[in-house]
């Protein structure tokens, strides 16, 4: 390499240089009052807007900010010039453009800004996962700063799709309590006509390593899984669940979650959302009128009915905190999940693994809400971004042409009846759908833990609906060591895997989907249990217990377990109660009280430590969320609590 290879043969047009230009024509729509009373920033902003080419005479229109998680660069024909991190943020520019054109058509002035997001699938098993959950807080903070940095904005539109960008956008909009806001969900990726979904395809490495998949099949399946360039993955993971939740909150239009990305209905949702937010602004309806305690509870109801990702147990509390609402507790989650039947049969929970686009065609969130309304489980009086109540929205949906046509399309296109995707409670019970999550406690998890109990393989559940597994623990102090054991034959049917040190203080609370997905799709995996203080992908299934609290590096008893310990897991899928306990060793079984005493007296595992590659940014995030209440309060920044702790610390230091 040399300077000549860099500069080489230069295009002669580079010497066609201008040193000045005429500037935009026309005049700013200034008045004496504007010049006398408005700050210089407002006036200079119009100069900048004219410089970017906006018609000067139209610059006094209402300013609407469009804040998207777009990444990548597309040519006009859609081919990539530069890739995004994932399909979920690659096509969002089309929705942003549709919204912007509608805003301009209605006489307002659109502004667009971007805070892109990472992909949890891309970072699985890598050090990139150490930035995943912390990114959510940082992105929400940057979004809030960008919103405030457009001082004259009248309304804000968020456009987001996936695991961290969408929760971050929800948090940012929820905190804009005195602004009109709306969120446009970025929709779903299409499944391949022949092939595997984007969840199962993430296990090709583990299946190949266990001689359960050929190299040729792995290569082909891996190529074909994403059948459209945009949208969140085809399963009801964290991306799909977040879309469902934002609609259930009333912060997105009815029947906007999970739409097929890139298609006319998907772009039309963006136009409709632009019209809606301007109407909200006109009528003085702001975010605090929509995101309320009742709306938060509605979102929890819908989460349970869909069988959604356990990551929303982190995100819904964070949205509630941002909105100044009551933050749901473990007791609230338990109560909701005991009340609400699961009604939706989609990937990854089944029993029939329909892709999420079928859930959209079957009626999506409003269809599920019709069933919940009949059960008396919804707050129908809450206000939504339509400007009307939830009850009014559902009245419209039930009789709408939109509902009838989309449901008929599902029959015509896929030969699937919509009531086989979204069921009434009686049919759901007949098909074996069980409620979504259970929160096992015990001497390993005294603060609680989470298991998506509805997704435990029915073949390992007793006739009474109770999953029972007593087995010998195999201890791992890193996810890397655990996946290596799976790939090299170190895990067998009947084992209980314990992966410690994966909480916020250890890894930024990494997502361990490469473990859970491998166990799901390996022949012996359903006979293995997993316990961890890390979290799970929304597409995770099986007997996997996460969010164990306290985490190991905070002194939690999970960090005191050893190879050879015997663990007893009991999860009642019908009554949603469970326990996870250390009960001694194979040679020395103990009562629960005796075993608890042993754990209290043990030291932490000698190999337990924060990941050496943990970024400084994540260490700071972990410390801040820890003093703010930790995972069960959503890993948020509670500013008052942080300041209180800092002041107490400073006082203690100065008194020495």
Task: Return the active site residues.
Answer: 537
Compute the distance between CA of residue 419 and CA of residue 345 in angstroms, rounded to an integer. 10
Q: For residue 221, say if its preceding peptide bond is cis, omega within 30 degrees of 0.
A: no
Nearest CA to 607 among 501, 486, 455? Answer: 501
Report the alpha-carbon distance of residue 368 to residue 351 in Å, rounded.
17
Q: How far is CA 589 from the centre of its chain?
A: 41
Helices 92-105, 264-282: axis angle to 10 degrees equals 40
SS (H, E, C) 472-530: EEEEECCHHHHHHHHHCCCCCCCCEEEECCCCHHHHCCCECHHHHHHHHHCCCHHHCEE
> Residue 498's CB: how many other CB atoms inside 10 A?
29
DSSP 603-642: PPPTT----TT--HHHHHHHHHHHHTT-GGGTS---HHHH
Structure-token pair, residue 278: 């301007």
Pairing of β 496-499 and β 466-476: parallel
What is the distance, to the nearest Å, from the Cα of residue 482 to the centroid of all Cα atoms in its chain? 25
Q: Which two tokens stand for residue 324?
A: 């100044």
- What gap in Å lies between CA 467 and CA 325, rounded to an integer? 36
Give Dmax over CA atoms of the chain in angstroms.
89
Give the C-alpha distances (Å, rounded to integers) separating 386 from 272, 301, 383, 404, 629: 10, 20, 8, 20, 35
């Amino acid at each position: 390499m040399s300077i000549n290879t860099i500069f080489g043969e230069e295009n002669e047009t580079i010497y066609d240089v201008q040193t000045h230009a005429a500037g935009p024509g026309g005049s700013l729509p200034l008045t004496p009052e504007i010049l006398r009373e408005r700050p210089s920033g407002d006036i200079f902003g119009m100069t900048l807007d004219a410089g970017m080419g906006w018609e000067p005479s139209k610059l006094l229109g209402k300013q609407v900010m469009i804040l998207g998680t777009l990444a990548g660069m597309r040519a006009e024909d859609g081919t990539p010039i530069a890739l995004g991190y994932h399909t979920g943020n690659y096509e969002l520019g089309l929705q942003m453009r549709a919204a912007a054109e509608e805003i301009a058509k209605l006489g307002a002035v659109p502004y667009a800004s971007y805070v892109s997001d990472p992909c949890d699938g891309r970072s699985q098993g890598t050090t990139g996962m150490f930035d995943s959950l912390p990114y959510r807080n940082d992105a929400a903070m940057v979004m809030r700063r960008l919103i405030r940095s457009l001082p004259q904005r009248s309304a804000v539109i968020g456009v987001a799709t996936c695991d961290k960008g969408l929760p971050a956008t929800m948090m940012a909009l929820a905190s804009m309590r005195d602004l009109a806001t709306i969120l446009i969900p970025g929709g779903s990726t299409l499944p391949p006509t022949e092939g595997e979904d984007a969840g199962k395809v993430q296990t090709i490495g583990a299946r190949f390593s266990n001689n359960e998949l050929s190299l040729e099949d792995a290569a082909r399946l891996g190529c074909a899984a994403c059948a459209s360039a945009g949208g969140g993955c085809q399963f009801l993971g964290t991306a799909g669940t977040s879309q469902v939740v934002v609609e259930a909150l009333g912060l997105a239009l009815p029947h906007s979650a999970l739409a097929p990305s890139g298609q006319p209905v998907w772009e039309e949702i963006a136009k409709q959302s632009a019209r809606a937010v301007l109407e909200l602004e006109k009528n003085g309806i702001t975010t605090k009128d929509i995101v309320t305690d009742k709306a938060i509870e509605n979102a929890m109801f819908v989460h349970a009915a869909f069988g959604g990702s356990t990551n929303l147990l982190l995100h819904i509390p964070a949205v509630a905190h941002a909105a100044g609402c009551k933050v749901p507790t473990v007791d609230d989650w338990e109560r909701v999940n005991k009340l609400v039947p699961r009604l939706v049969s989609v990937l990854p929970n089944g029993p029939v693994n329909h892709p999420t686009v079928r859930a959209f065609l079957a009626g999506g969130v409003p269809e599920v809400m019709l069933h919940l309304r009949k059960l008396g489980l919804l707050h129908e009086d809450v206000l939504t971004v339509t400007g009307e109540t939830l009850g009014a929205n559902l009245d419209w949906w039930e009789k709408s042409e939109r509902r009838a046509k989309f449901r008929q399309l599902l029959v015509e296109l896929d030969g699937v009846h919509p009531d086989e995707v979204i069921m009434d409670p009686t049919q759901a019970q007949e098909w074996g759908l069980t409620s979504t999550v259970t929160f096992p406690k015990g001497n390993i998890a005294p603060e609680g833990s989470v298991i998506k109990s509805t997704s435990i393989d029915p073949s390992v559940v007793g006739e009474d609906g109770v999953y029972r597994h007593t087995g010998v623990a195999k201890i791992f102090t890193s996810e890397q060591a655990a996946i290596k054991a799976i790939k090299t034959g170190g895990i067998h049917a009947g084992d209980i895997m314990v992966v410690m040190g994966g909480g916020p203080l250890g890894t930024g609370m990494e997502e361990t989907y490469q473990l859970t997905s491998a166990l799901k799709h390996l022949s012996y995996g359903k006979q293995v249990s997993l316990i961890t203080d890390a979290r799970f992908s929304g597409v995770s299934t099986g007997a996997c217990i996460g969010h164990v609290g306290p985490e190991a590096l905070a002194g939690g008893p999970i960090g005191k377990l050893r190879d050879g310990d015997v663990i007893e897991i009991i999860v009642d899928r019908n009554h949603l109660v469970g326990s996870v306990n250390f009960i001694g060793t194979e040679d020395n079984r103990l009562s629960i009280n005796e075993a608890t005493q042993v754990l209290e007296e043990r030291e932490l595992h000698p190999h337990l430590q924060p990941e050496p590659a943990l970024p400084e940014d994540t260490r700071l995030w972990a410390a801040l969320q820890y003093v703010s209440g930790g995972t069960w309060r959503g890993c948020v920044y509670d500013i008052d609590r942080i300041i209180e702790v800092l002041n107490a610390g400073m006082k203690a230091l100065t008194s020495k």
